[in-house]
Amino acid sequence: MKDSILKQKFETLRSFPILKPEVIQIAEGFIKKSDDWKLLRVNPLKFAEEYLLDENHSVDFFVHATKVGLFDFAYNLICPMCGGIVRSHHKLDEIQGNEFHCVSCNIVVPTLLDDQVEVAFQIHPSLQTNSLEPFKDVENYFRFFFSENFNKSPELKSWIQSTIRGYSQLLPDESYEIELIAKTGDLQGDLIQFVSIDRNTMSLFSVDPTLPPSNQVYTIDFMENGMMPLELKIPSGKHKFFIHNRTRFRVGINVLTPNPLEIERIVGNHPTIRSAFLTAKMLLNNQSFRDLFRIQKLSPDLNLNVKSLTIMFTDLKGSTEMYDTAGDIFAYRLVQEHFRILTEIVRKYKGAIVKTMGDAIMATFSTPTEGLLASLEMMDRIDSMNLDWKKEGYQIGLKVGLNEGSALAVVNDERLDYFGQSVNIAARVQGLAKSGEVWLSETVWNATGSEDLVKNHGYFFRKQHATLKGVGRPVPVFQLSRKKIKDISKWRKMFS
């Protein structure tokens, strides 16, 4: 570890007012005493749990530490079955495609920012050169290319070990030879799988009971674009396999005899326990990330899927009149104070402001509950703010709308933005609100246990139906207000 550079980085981090001094102190000690394995992929949620820290404070630290060059982002595409890191990227826009293929499990996985993209933090090479040898042996290989956030049961680990028939690392132009006996069973023949997790490619040989037994020799060419043959049926017998590395890279080869039915049974009886980790969706909903990395050279073709995003739109009532009556300076101060309050609350509930539009904001949250709690606290804080400003004869009214649904993360005006029907619905739902009201779509209401939560915060609610522009048919919406709500049937036809 280069202590002089490390000291300089931490001096810079101490200049950020948002970072907690105790978090900085703990992180500095953690880095100094950690080995290469611990610094390979740091999970900020696990770090918070281990040191009894607030998750927000932990994530904020690692995001700031990445900004000053202490860490690098690692966006890992994770197989949900085995926890294998199918691909790892340092930039968000390097993630391409709507799905990826895990060769270990031979399954196709949707590329969702919610679950399948793990964000870890790797120590920057300017501070320490990683001395790990991932190809040294099968233990290092598995540890390096699988996420530690997937805790396999002892039964599953034991079974995986029993299926491994060989392992080798191959330098360019090197070969590996192995001899295996392939048999046919009562139901099906053996499977022999040659897997390179680091290059995410495989060659699969399946025993065909209809072929007459014979001993054969097979050659597998490891090419830049994968192994050839990809799949081949073979007879039972004692076979030799030659794998030749024709790439420019050092590669790892695992030789397995998998049994899909058996792994399904073991996982069903002894499921893998997944530890909480920072997902790409959670990172995009982090205000520090939005603030520090708002100007990035991202591809204009970036489009990534989010399965479940809670979208908030707000607006102010009374600000235009205030500019006319109170003057620009006074009105500007009041509106800016409102923005400060909203930003503080959005950050508190692990959300991020995507953009401002005049006096309005668009914000996103990872869960509907966080979005709803933020909305209710915003109302309380604006009410408190108005108590002071009423002495001057002025006040503002906040209107909030929330929706939850899928969305597409895109680059718009050189910033990360969201696109899709869920975003449109959130904006339309906000348009139904009066001053001091929060309106929710049915997806938010159903996801949050909202009735008790709303009542506990002193709100009345009414379920209504409204025809929202672009939706086409009346949809259920929920009106929240501190005042008792009268039956307002006119909302049903508004915004059609």
Rounded distance between C-alpha atoms, residue 342 and residue 287, angstroms: 12
Domain membership of residue 367 (yes or no) is: yes
Same domain, 354 and 460: yes
Mind listing the pLDDT tens digit for each residue in 160-211? 888 999 999 999 999 999 999 998 865 556 889 999 999 999 999 999 988 9
- Note the pLDDT of residue 255: 94
- Note the pLDDT of residue 2: 81
Q: Is 227 helix (H, G, I), strand (E, B) or coil?
A: strand
Please say if the pLDDT value at position 100 is more than 70: yes
Domain membership of residue 215 (yes or no) is: yes
Mind listing the pLDDT tens digit for each residue in 346-405? 999 999 999 999 889 999 999 999 999 999 999 999 988 888 777 666 778 899 999 999
Same domain, 476 and 365: yes
Mind listing the pLDDT tens digit for each residue in 1-17? 688 899 999 999 999 99
- Note the pLDDT of residue 157: 87
Residue matched to tokens 């404070």: 57
Mind listing the pLDDT tens digit for each residue in 45-72? 999 999 999 999 999 999 999 999 999 9
Same domain, 307 and 431: yes
Domain membership of residue 142 (yes or no) is: no
How far CA 446 is from CA of 216, 264, 372, 373, 463, in Å, comes to: 60, 33, 12, 14, 12
Residue 441, CB half-sphere, CA atoms under 13 Å: how many?
29
Same domain, 95 and 164: no
Rounded distance between C-alpha atoms, residue 158 and residue 317, angstroms: 63
Angle at 303 between CA 42 and CA 59, to 5 degrees: 25
Amino acid of residue 226: G
Q: Is 144 helix (H, G, I), strand (E, B) or coil?
A: helix
Same domain, 219 and 251: yes
- Note the pLDDT of residue 492: 41
- Note the pLDDT of residue 136: 92
E strand map for 235-323 = 237-245, 251-256, 273-274, 303-317
Domain membership of residue 145 (yes or no) is: no
Rounded distance between C-alpha atoms, residue 351 and residue 364, angstroms: 6
**Peptide bond between residue 229 and the one before it cis (omega within 30 degrees of 0):** yes
Domain membership of residue 147 (yes or no) is: no
Look up the CATH number of the domain holding residue 356.
3.30.70.1230
Domain boundary among 100, 132, 164: 132
Find the helix or strand (DSSP H, E) in which 475 lies: strand 475-481
- Note the pLDDT of residue 318: 65
Please say if the pLDDT value at position 470 is more than 60: yes
Same domain, 226 and 333: no
For the CA atoms of 90, 94, 99, 102, the dihedral, rounded to the nearest 10 degrees, stands at -40
Say if CB 106 and CB 202 are below 8 A apart. Answer: yes
Rounded distance between C-alpha atoms, residue 260 and residue 190, angstroms: 11
Rounded distance between C-alpha atoms, residue 496 and residue 493, angstroms: 6
Domain membership of residue 280 (yes or no) is: no
Q: What is the mean pLDDT of the chain?
A: 89
Say if CB 390 and CB 397 are below 8 A apart. Answer: no
Pairing of strands 237-245, 217-223: parallel
Residue 360 bridge partners (DSSP): 357
Same domain, 252 and 319: no
Same domain, 413 and 474: yes
- Note the pLDDT of residue 4: 87
Same domain, 252 and 313: no
Predicted TM-score of the model (pTM): 0.88
User: Per the structure block, which two tokens stand in for 439?
Assistant: 């309106």
DSSP H helices, 18-147, are 21-33, 44-50, 55-67, 138-145
Domain membership of residue 59 (yes or no) is: yes
Same domain, 78 and 15: yes
Say if CB 407 and CB 285 are below 8 A apart. Answer: no
- Note the pLDDT of residue 159: 87
Domain count, the chain: 3
Mind listing the pLDDT tens digit for each residue in 230-281? 999 999 999 999 999 999 999 999 999 888 788 888 888 988 889 999 999 9
- Note the pLDDT of residue 336: 87
Same domain, 385 and 483: yes
Instruction: Provide the pLDDT confidence category of residue 493 given band limits of 50, 70 and 90.
Output: very low
- DSSP state letter for 93: G
Same domain, 96 and 18: yes
Residue matched to tokens 């039956």: 487
Angle at 113 between CA 341 and CA 430, to 5 degrees: 40
- Note the pLDDT of residue 82: 85
Q: Provide, for the chain, the percentages of residues in helix, strand and coil under a 3-state DSSP scheme, each rounded to the nearest 5.
A: 35, 35, 35
Domain membership of residue 390 (yes or no) is: yes
Which domain, by its residues, includes 365?
301-493
Rounded distance between C-alpha atoms, residue 78 and residue 76, angstroms: 6
